[in-house]
Amino acid sequence: MELKDIIVNGLEAINKAETLEQLNEVRIAYLSKKGHLTSVMGQMRNLSNEERPMFGKKVNEVKEKIESAYQQKVSELEAIRLERKMKEDAIDITLPGPEFTIGAQNPLIIIQREIEDVFREMGYQVVEGDEIELDLYNFERANIPQDHPAREMQDTFYIDEHTLLRTHTTAIQTRALEENAPHIPLKVICPGKVYRRDDDDATHSHQFVQTEGLVVGHNITLSDLKGTLSLFAKRMFGDDRVIRFRPSYFQFTEPSVEVDVSCHICNGKGCNVCKHTGWIEILGAGMVHPHVLRDAGYTDPTLTGFAFGAGVERIAMLKYGIEDIRSFYTNDKRFIEQFKRYE
């Protein structure tokens, strides 16, 4: 190609390039070692000594012009590319954000916290323990010796001869007694999961949640227990609730009672929920057996205490009208979401 064509064609090619890639092709064609400008230098050979410097000068001028046109075009195309990229990547701040869903608490947790709150306000300390427990704390210290028929009341998952899945939160209480003896007053509330060998159905589960309370001190009587549980019943089921004691039997309390609350659905008149008796059983309770106190290290025989235990599932089922205990454990979102609290 002649030098005069190189300048015209080169500038035109640069001008026409629409992308940096096309422009690079032009650079290779004109400015690289194998490009038109290099090959035009070959023509020097055919020139006289006088003509050569002149020609060389012209070639350089053309080269500079093409180079500067090339550089300018590079800047232009880069600016265009940047602008396009900024447009493409732009964040539309008017778009609605992703929706965050708030989780719901399992009703068992809600009820457990409510129970804890009632007793915390009365000065109780919340104490927890391990679900894998020694026979010693689950049974022996609760005045249920080896081979005693009372063990049959709680069908147990044994891990080995001395270790089991605790069958009641009384195990937390016997440990709390031992740890605190002979300190008084002792006031603890003990929530936790417990396990019994049971066939699961609408009202039974091999794993459930209990919450037990325990008080030890001077002059603690059955009427203190009644006053305490009466307040508890009102706080859980409404101010109009009253309670009654019925005699019962537990190894670790003497005397032992079963605690009924007047039905919160029919107000005691009789309905399906209370099986037309007007009363609903919600707790086991009693005065702590002297052996339990003594074995844990409360050796002062004038000390007394009361204890009570409630099934958290049962209270939640009564409060929310839940008919199948398995609903608590199946993690069905439709069930759990009913307990969402919008605050």
Which single residue brings its beta carbon nearest to ligand PHE? 309
Q: How many CA atoms lie within 13 A of 318 on its CB side?
A: 27
Contacts of 264 (CB under 8 A, 6+ apart): 237, 238, 241, 280, 318
Query: Taking the complex as a whole, how short is the minimal distance between the CB of residue 285 and ligand PHE, in angstroms?
Result: 5
Q: Closest Cα partner for 288 from 274, 278, 298, 277?
A: 298
Q: Which C-beta is closer to ligand PHE: that of 27 or that of 295? A: 295
Q: Are the beta carbons of 182 and 297 closer than 8 angstroms?
A: yes
Q: Give Cβ neighbours of residue 241 (< 8 Å, ≥ 6 apart).
A: 233, 234, 261, 262, 264
Short-list 221, 217, 203, 210, CA closest to 257: 221
Q: How far is the CB of 339 from ligand PHE (least distance, A)?
A: 26
The Cα-based distances of 93 to 90, 97, 176, 250 in angstroms read: 9, 9, 57, 66
**162 within 8 A of 183, measured Cβ to Cβ:** no
Residue 165: enclosing H or E segment and its boundaries? Answer: strand 163-165
Find the shortest distance in angstroms from Cβ 302 to ligand PHE.
Answer: 21
Between 30 and 245, whose beta carbon lies closer to ligand PHE? 245
Single residue of 309, 313, 314, 315 touching ligand PHE by CB under 6 A = 309
Interface residue with ligand PHE, options 284, 314, 327, 328 (CB under 6 A): 284
Q: Select from 307, 315, 317, 318 the one that contacts ligand PHE (CB under 6 A).
A: 307
Closest C-alpha among 285, 272, 188, 276 to residue 233: 285
Considering only residues 113 through 172, tell me which ones interact with ligand PHE, judged by CB under 6 A. Answer: 168, 170
Q: How near is the Cβ of 109 to ligand PHE at its closest, in Å?
A: 20
Which stretch, 12-20, 62-70, 282-290, 296-304, contacts ligand PHE (CB under 6 A)? Answer: 282-290
Residues 241-280, mask of contacts with ligand PHE (x by CB under 6 A): ---------x--x---------------------------
Nearer to ligand PHE, 62 or 285 (CB): 285
Q: Which of 127, 285, 315, 318 binds ligand PHE (CB under 6 A)?
A: 285
List the structure tokens of 38. 């290099």
**Whose Cβ is closer to ligand PHE: residue 195's or residue 237's?**
195
Q: Residue 251, class by beta-carbon neighbours within 10 Å (0-12 exposed, 13-18 middle, 19+ buried)?
A: buried
The region of 33-41, 43-51, 130-138, 305-313 touching ligand PHE under the rule CB under 6 A is: 305-313
Please state, in angstroms and rounded to a whole number, the distance separating the CA atoms of residues 319 and 108.
Answer: 11
| Alpha carbons 251 and 139: distance in angstroms, whole number | 9
Smallest gap from Cβ 270 to ligand PHE, in A, equals 27
x-marked contacts with ligand PHE along 176-215 as a string, rule CB under 6 A: ------------------------------------x---
Task: Report the b/e string of 2-39 with b at 16+ CB within 10 A.
Answer: ebeebbebbbebbeebeeeeebeebbebbbeeebbbee
311 in Cβ contact with 209 (< 8 Å): yes
Q: Is residue 174 within the footprint of ligand PHE (CB under 6 A)?
A: no
Stretch that binds ligand PHE, among 31-39, 43-51, 262-270, 307-315 (CB under 6 A): 307-315
Q: What's the closest the beta carbon of residue 120 comes to ligand PHE, in angstroms? A: 19
Residues 1-60 that bind ligand PHE (CB under 6 A): none
Question: Which residue ranges make up the site for ligand PHE (CB under 6 A)?
Answer: 168, 170, 212, 250, 253, 284-286, 307-309
